[in-house]
Structure 1
Amino acid sequence: MSAGSRTLEDLRSLLTSCQGADSQQRVKFYDSWAETYEQDHSMMDYRAPHQAVHFLFENFSGHPDEVQVLDVACGSGLVANLMVELGFQHFLGVDGSRGMLDQAAKTGLYKELKLALLGTEPLPAQPGVFDVVMIVGALRDGFVPFSVVRELCLAAAPGGYVCMSRNGLESESGNQYKVSLEAELQLMEEEGLWSHVATKETDRYMIDMYSNCDHVQKDKYLHGTMYLYRKFLL
């Protein structure tokens, strides 16, 4: 089936096929999805990249054209494409899917792209270098473990920003992930690793493709949460 003939119900079936997959199966899923990923997310009204980029920019101080950006779980390059419109120019991307990195490479925006499955492999980024670290959409149960936020902080330069966005999928595992993530963020603040800049709830993260009803409801959206921290100066 071509991407142009796909429906929301088709996409729901596609996403359902990935539920419960292990990390290697999920990588293969995203490799095969890469070519139609952006078209399909447009159909799902996936707003998280726009929300996260503008959330960062509202709280950012500095000259975007001088900033080094680490785009974690970069996918096909949606976040970098939006950041370029605001003047950011220097990007390093990391993702666990080779197919997604191939799509990101086509944008021509990244100085370098690196393959790594976060949680099982270390974040392949030089510590203390990046003025902005972005991760949008991957902080969820079964994808990127919440403990990876320490690696994001390590990669940030002193005074650098770490911007994180996650969906609020209502499930026992999803709720527990949120509790564990926010406890880790708070602990890192208490340890003096970074300071909290802002947290913002969003009510239109994307169309809820995961509800238990028989059909996708176009007016029913997942909510999300965005977090922004700033690494302490040495």
Structure 2
Amino acid sequence: MENANIKILLVDDEPDILEIVGYNLKNEGYQIFTAKNGIEAVESAKKNTPHLIILDIMMPEMDGIEACEKIRATKGLENVLITFFTARGEDYSQVAGFNVGADDYITKPIKPKVLVSKIKALLRRVKHVQLETANSEKINVGGIIIDREEYVIIKNGEKLSLPRKEFELFSLLASKPGKVFKRDDILDKVWGNEVVVGGRTIDVHIRKLREKIGEKNFKTVKGVGYKFVINED
């Protein structure tokens, strides 16, 4: 099966969740590993190097927020996809999740078939970002080519020359489609210590990218930051 090489770590302290969700994902052909708390999750992630981690927040011994933070700090796991899976839908929980490096957020309860569809969509993000070689200067993101050697974007065969900061901002957001990049991280990675700028600077650059690349490709996550979305229309 085409999914046989994809490893998913499912973490939840409820045995029924592990059994039901695990069963449905196994039926799709995925390799499934399970853990019932954050400590086991970190150990399993280090051992198995999953492509995706579905992580509950409220768990004994170590909660999902702390586990996510430890996983993100582990060499080789910095870019693994992590989605929180929890019954807590409050905004502060989502912000806390994004702050420690989560890529997405799924709220319980959810029908197994809907969950499987969401997981498939998450895993497509990995497939959309393809490096031509390990040291390639070109990255193809959903049909949009980022050429770092020539410092241009190629969309629908047309070369777009962007100002340096717009190019760097787009490259950052497109490096992980669907991932929410916090405003502070954007300022640090794109502007660094060059000048003191405010959050409004990011807004202006995002507006320009929307005009040049596509309105639907850039989403605002209120109170957190921005993410790049592949337009599949």
Greater Rg by CA: 2
The bucket for the TM-score relative to the shorter chain is 0.3 to 0.5
Q: Which of the pair has the greater relative contact order for Cα pairs under 8 Å at 6+ separation?
A: 1
